[in-house]
Structure 1
Amino acid sequence: MPLSTDDPRTVAGYALRARLGGGGMGRVYLSFTPGRRAVAVKVVRGELADDPEFRRRFRREVDVAQRVQGFYTAPVLDADPDAPQPWLATAYVAGPTLQEAVAEHGPLPPPTVAHILAGCAEALASVHAAGLVHRDFKPGNVLLADDGPKVIDFGIARAADASTLTRSGAVVGTPAFMAPEQITGGTIGPAADVFALGLTAFHAATGHSAFGEGNAQALMYRIVNTEPDLDGCPAELRPLIGRCLVKEPAGRPSPAEITEAAGALVTGGPSDDGRWLPPAIATTMAGYHPPDELRPPPTTPAPAPTAPPAYAGPPTGPTAYAGPPTGPAPYGPTAAFDRSSPRGGVRWPPVAAAVAGVAVLAVAAFVVHSATSGDKSGGSADEGVGGGPSTTASSASPTKFGGGFTQEYSDVSFSLPSSGTPGASFGTHGPEVTTDGSESLVSDLQYLPEADPGFIRFYDSDQAAPVDGEPDGKACYEAVKRHPISGHVNYGDLKVGTRFCVLNPTEAQLAYICLTEKPSSGALTWKATGWQAPDE
């Protein structure tokens, strides 16, 4: 689709060539890297960009999504979550979505569905290994490429789930592909993605839903309260799909089990020429490559010299300065991350670019910062847990806070229970505690009491430091910058009176926390004082 008058022409150095599609989270555009590789650039819509909580989660999800690596996923290539309108870029995948393929060609043969099950389960395993849950897995978020299915859009629903839009009652996700626990407000973990994978595979094999049709409320009621109707599902696929659709999350197979079971139903694997797809789809794949008229012209390399120039002796005078280069770089970003990956297909007509319903890729949440092998704080006595560097301020060190701290709360008590995976984040109104395991993985402070041994860790260990003394914003900031903790802190090394300073990733919120109670039950009680950076 050609760009309209309200579409931007560039995003952070990416020259936009066409609009690929859009949805509730933003619009997607076609661009190219300096090496003429196609990329999809997604720009978040303004209402979400204006929401501070969305930005906070989106920033973290970009960070963790860049770590997702898997053949059947489309990781993030480049992003700027702090731009006036946040954006991200992925490489472009030439191929239709599963939703489009089924709508145009009907149900897919069982071997193709088995390939989709196996590949998508492997992709979800990669996503889950990074601490993410997709939350919006559906046929529109599976691209059918020549070399196999590609899972996209893992996680933007997670950021939107915390925005003011959803807090005001909007629904995030696609009701027809939600798990029961997602609908009822329960804990959403990897098993929710398995349920959605089962519904997606059933749709691919039959062309309809296992819970019938109708409005969103009726569908969600049936998903929670009735059993799936698997009539019409091929016999070889029915047992595996049925296991994925068990109501209780614990009863569903893991992605690894799905990959193994589905792999047994097919011979060989996806090839680079699309032979895993039925012929009716495989013959259309060439039409999803961007047309030449949308590509930037190739750069002309400088001609190679035929012979080295003769040495003319030392220079007789200084070389005149020719001034800085003029004009913008020809195409693409000036400093993009080189994390190339497949992304997003549109079928292009011979003359104009026509939208083929590209699903939007974004990022997900839930990052796990594991303790490093060189953990200096595992025993922590040398690192100063409960006896770290002094918080005496150095007036010679300017900080982003500039000495002008705005205290937002003081000595607010909070507790982390001794079960599950609780966490606490430090915002403008004080500590916010969660006991949702997936939520806690993006908390500023995380507690893993059931590990052996139990320990605490921080979302970013480079933004936390053990300290002594009373709360002091400027000294707290400087301690973090000069003596960041490395890794985690074992439960046994935590003493009443242990203190930390924690700076969030945007460096807009700073917290001083002190352990006040450590009962034998394993719970941890803290008190927190927090500051906000002044406006710049």
Structure 2
Amino acid sequence: MQGIADYEFVRPLGSGNHGQYFLARRPPRLPVDVEHVAVKVLSAESTEVAFRRAVRELTAFSAVQSPYLVSPYDAGQQDGKFFYSMEYLPAGSLANPATPPKPADAIRAVADAARAAAALHEAGLVHRDIKPGNVLLSSAGGRLSDLGLAQVFTEGVTITGMGALDSVEYVDPAVLTGGRFVPAADVWSLGVMLHRVVSGTGVHGDLPAADGLLALRRVLSEAPRIDPSLPAPVADLVGDCLGPAGQRPTAATFAARADAFV
């Protein structure tokens, strides 16, 4: 793909749930003072109803005032494909950093993602796709990106609609089996991500990236396990995030507790 609408793609940036990312030159009509932007093109079919729903979600997302959220710029539809552009951060993400962050910086990025989630929750939004690949790095810490729009295009999402099955370890099992996305589901994701950042492993061990169905089976059949090498305060926070939904900390409380680890 060479581009979409008036975005000229420079190179691919990778793929994510239900879509591909591209580095693109900023079209002249876009009123931001940058040379490049990141563009995500969703692979899900974009009907007019889904397009309007996704634009409403992005508009609400962009209205949330938080320095810990990546700014979306624009959205459109071409040949049945929905796309949106956002600011480009060249340092990469926690999943694929340009330079591996120091442990304290990685924890700080997770805490910043929690602050972003807290701002979304206060505005009545749920992110739905918090994972290392959606926590972008900057000199100031972390920025949460990529609102889970794939679920906007597949309402009533269950196991088969979650996209890349090798990322199911970050999804609240209640959602995987048909439950609704709620703020507590984002907190589950934050806890799993903190565990991986600090221990280097997931709460289900190292899942088989090449076999998504096996990964899914393990997540649904095995209780999450907290690495015994984690410092007690970190283990306590992760455990609280993996507890019953009604007893989990808020995203704001998670951020405050995580701040003490750096």
Partner in structure 2 of residue 258 of structure 1: 254
What is the match of residue 137 of structure 1?
A: 130
Deviation at 1:18, TM superposition (A): 2.2
**Structure 1 length-normalised TM:** 0.43
Distance 1:120 1:191 in 2: 14
**Aligned in 2, Cα 1:98/1:81: closer, same or farther, shift over 3 Å?**
same
**1:242 maps to which of 239, 256, 262:** 239
Cα shift at 1:37: 2.5
State yes or no: 1:97 paired with 2:93. yes
Instruction: From the two aligned structures, give the one with the greater helix fraction.
Output: 2
For residues 435-514 of structure 1, the aligned pairs below 5 Å read: none
Quickly say closer, same or farther: Cα 1:83–1:125, change in 2 above 3 A. Answer: farther
Which one-letter code corresponds to 1:28 in the other structure? Answer: Y
Contact 1:195 1:245 in 2 (8 A): yes
Residue 149 of structure 1 aligns to which amino acid in structure 2? G
CA distance in 1, matches of 2:127, 2:260: 25
CA distance in 1, matches of 2:48, 2:159: 15
Q: 2:73 aligns with which of 69, 73, 77?
A: 77
For structure 1, list consecutive stretches of 5 or more residues without a partner in the other structure: 1-6, 267-536
The residue aligned with 1:217 is 216
Q: Quick check: 1:132–1:155 contact (8 Å CA) kept in 2?
A: no
Q: Say whether residues 1:59 and 2:55 are aligned partners.
A: yes
Shift of 1:52: 5.1
Contact 1:20 1:30 in 2 (8 A): yes
- 1:27 corresponds in structure 2 to 20
* Aligned residue number for residue 160 of structure 1: 153
Aligned counterpart for 2:187 among listed residues 194, 215, 227: 194
- Give runs of ≥4 in structure 1 deviating > 6 Å: none
Contact persistence 2:5–2:78 (CA under 8 A):
no
- TM-score, reference length from structure 2: 0.82
Distance 1:218 1:168 in 2: 11
Partners of 2:137 and 2:34 in 1: CA distance: 22
Q: 1:68 is matched with which residue?
A: 64
CA–CA separation in structure 2 for the residues paired with 1:100 and 1:8? 24
- On the 8 A contact 1:53/1:162 being kept in 2, the answer is no
Aligned pairs (5 A) from 1:278-297: none
| 8 Å CA contact 1:19, 1:29 repeated in 2 | yes
Paired positions, count:
249
The separation in 2 between residues aligned to 1:92 and 1:184, in whole angstroms, is 34
Establish whether residue 41 from structure 1 lines up as the match of residue 39 from structure 2.
yes
Quote the Cα distance in structure 1 between the aligned partners of 2:6 and 2:69: 25
Per-residue CA distance 1:469-490 (angstroms, 9 max, x = gap): xxxxxxxxxxxxxxxxxxxxxx
Contact 1:116 1:201 survives alignment (8 Å): no
Residue 39 of structure 1: how far off its partner (Å): 0.6
Instruction: Tell me the distance in 2 between the aligned counterparts of 1:138 and 1:68.
Output: 20
3-state SS, counterpart of residue 187 of structure 2? helix
* 1:162-205 alpha-carbon deviations (Å, 9 max, x no partner): 28xx6894434631111132123223200100010000011011
Distance change >3 Å, CA 135–CA 126, structure 1 → 2: same
Counterparts of 2:17 and 2:173, CA distance in 1: 23
Deviations 1:481-512 (A, max 9, x none): xxxxxxxxxxxxxxxxxxxxxxxxxxxxxxxx
The letter of the residue matching 1:221 is L
1:94-493 aligned within 5 A: 94-101=90-97, 109=103, 111-162=104-155, 169-172=160-163, 174-214=167-207, 215-222=214-221, 226-246=223-243, 248-266=244-262
C-alpha contact 2:62 2:71 (8 A) present in aligned 1: yes
Q: Distance in 1 between matches of 2:152 and 2:224?
A: 31
Find the structure with the greater CA-based Rg. Answer: 1
Is there any run of 5+ residues in structure 2 with no aligned partner, and where?
208-213
Structure 1's 264 and 218: CA in aligned 2 closer, same or farther, altered over 3 A?
same
State whether residues 67 and 130 of structure 1, in contact with CA within 8 Å, keep that contact through their aligned partners in structure 2: no
- Superposed displacement of residue 38, structure 1: 1.6
Tell whether 2:8 aligns with 1:8. no
1:345-367 CA-to-partner distances (Å, cap 9, x unmatched) read: xxxxxxxxxxxxxxxxxxxxxxx
- Counterpart of 2:58, as a letter, is V
